[in-house]
Structure 1
Amino acid sequence: MYLELNMRLTDEQEDLKESVHKFSQEVIRPAGEKLDQMDLDEMIQEGSLWWECKKKMRELGFHTTFIPESLGGTGMGPVEHHIIWEELGWGSVGLALSQDVDVYPASWLLRMNPGNQRLIDEFVKPYVNDLDAGMIGCWGLTEADHGSDILMAGTPQFREPKISQSMKARLDEDEWVIDGTKSAWISNGPVATHALLFVSIDASKGMAGGGIAVVPLDLPGVSRGRVLRKLGQLDLPQGELYFDNVRIPRDYMIVGPDRYEFWVEQVLSVANCGMSSLFTGVARAAFELALGYAKERVQGGRPLAEHQLIQKKLFDMFVKVETARAYSRAAVEYCFTAIPAPVQYAVGAKVYCTQAAFENAHEALQIYGGYGLSKEYPVEKILRDARAALIEDGCSEVLSLIGASAILRSYLLY
């Protein structure tokens, strides 16, 4: 385990770190490596190793960390969240991301519409009590023609009337009618039972004229595409969701156009903080694997770790892990507490930590040499997993523009 520089961690937090690390080491990493080689359609079949992992994470209460104790959750604080997500990301980030997205419908319903007791009874309480992974959440955002631009709250483009989501919702008396397609990049899409769905309600306001609904995915008119074949994160099932004249009760639309832009920015802040935590774990995994291999692998008559060039690489990787943890944990602590959460710090942490993870994975593979290209070693999987992070939850380039816009609006000059 790494040296913890935060000397204010409690004994309980230290115990949490050790227990989640042990779980990731014994369960998540071995499972992630096996799932990476599995047929994707078989992976999501009932009784598979993927579902076994989901159930084990449920038994440990990872799905309730955002739920207050008054509703049966663990109600964990920001530091505990970061500890959990870093360790799960260290194990296998695809499985970790699946668990991260799983909580979206229940947790965001509580944040966005805390006074609706009927929806809490219908969606939140059963989710908290579900230890068999019978309720799985997803985040219905990305479309074929819209991805990162859906997240650009606070920018002029977000209010451009010529640009709006393809997924439409219209009010018909006491029901919302939803039509459209969410793209193949919907995490948990092939297995989810509920979606936190982003839609367009008033296209004249551009992307800002949207809404956010909680939608059960067993309703008439909902269908799914096949599991997406992709480069990395194969243990995170992704796929299309189709909505054809799907009807939901009026109060399932928990955010309308009047509050939509605010909540898009808040969801982005929390999501990007989660990404920064997870990929701090990925950066650390790459570094630790490279360090272990360099101490064992002999070249030129001595271990790789005794060669100065390798020592410099390892030191640079170590620094990236430590700076990623410091930045991401600070962003998580602040953005999980402040309302509104300052999006520039969250997207900054996500962009930095995912880049650090990718660079560390690249260097780890380089240190492994030809063996790093082999599927017998875990570094090639980590490199593939890390590469996806520069695109998902907002590509780094667009997130930089969102962060720049927020800085220009809010930075204090003395």
Structure 2
Amino acid sequence: MIHRIDPPLSQINATAAHVSSGLDSTPAVKQIVPPQSARELARRELADTPSDFGGIPLETGMSSESFAETLEDIGFSIGSRFREARRGAADGRAALPRTRSMLQQLIKQVSAVSVAELAQLRERIPGVDELDDPADAMRGSGFNAGEIALLLSAMLEEGSLSGVRRKRVEEALATILEGDEWALQLFARVEFGQSSRGILTELRRLYQHAAARQRRLTDWFDEFRRLHDRQRKLKTLIRALAFELSAQGPAMDVHLAAVIGDLKRILQFLSVEDHCARAARALNAPGTGAHDFAADSLMQLLIECVEQSWISAGWVAARTNRTIYDDALRYRYTKAMHELVKLLPGDCFEDVEQREAILGAFAEHLEALADAGA
């Protein structure tokens, strides 16, 4: 079951089509100074993201089951954080650490890892269950924090540890969870196995924290679009970010809002990617005379449009005529692109005027094609 974000976060749009209406620029995280303002920032970050995460399109290449799991992680993490914040405010105490909930969630994830993967980790450190300090021994054997967390979680899940030894393993796992990169490393291992170490460099570059927030949304979209095997990599990022929401203590509320911003960007990308895939399928439908439109090429043109300092119907015509030679197909293509621009998140544009200028350019070119009998 997909968890909903608790009110008042539930007062947000229910479909990705509404994303384009949210044109107010999100303030940079570094500008938020009062501690309580982070929750307001988080609400604004999610203001144009579906309140029921299950409403995100699932036709982007990621299986509905695996994507539902990642979305449940997000719902659990965000919902728990805001319930925790309200409890802390109600009784005047700081919210308790979330280590116990994190341990329970992490242990559940172990079931997603094959027996062979866990066996490979155990082969690197024989007799790990009998060691007094298994985490330290794993570090000495070259394990990264994610691999340590994964194997310690598996040991707890198996339920064969004695009371004292189990407590030591829980304490060691809790210490690991206080670090910065364990979630990304763990979920990369779960998704990519032994090859995850070569992929981590690329994932780290995308795994942004509160320090860097100057890039435009279309820059992120272009980088996501260029990822090889991007569905699995974005799934890994979503799961890591969702767990990071649980990892941060009550003093990290501003960072919480920044992490939500990262999640929002990925969900927005997946939504736009799905719209482009639908448009490409429609353009390539039997009897239309076109069979080679790709979703990526449609997204690339969207990004090019937004990157222009100024756009006109002439620019649209030149860009369209360069690749399409049939007038009827040009009209259908331009109309599809016009609709896709309408569905772009407001954060993609500099301001309302830029959005209206791009829409106007496509509308004017459509009118010219119609007048020419296309």
TM-score (norm 1): 0.25
Which structure shows the higher strand fraction? 1
Which structure shows the higher helix fraction? 2
Structure with greater contact order relative to length (CA < 8 Å, sep ≥ 6): 2
TM-score (norm 2): 0.27
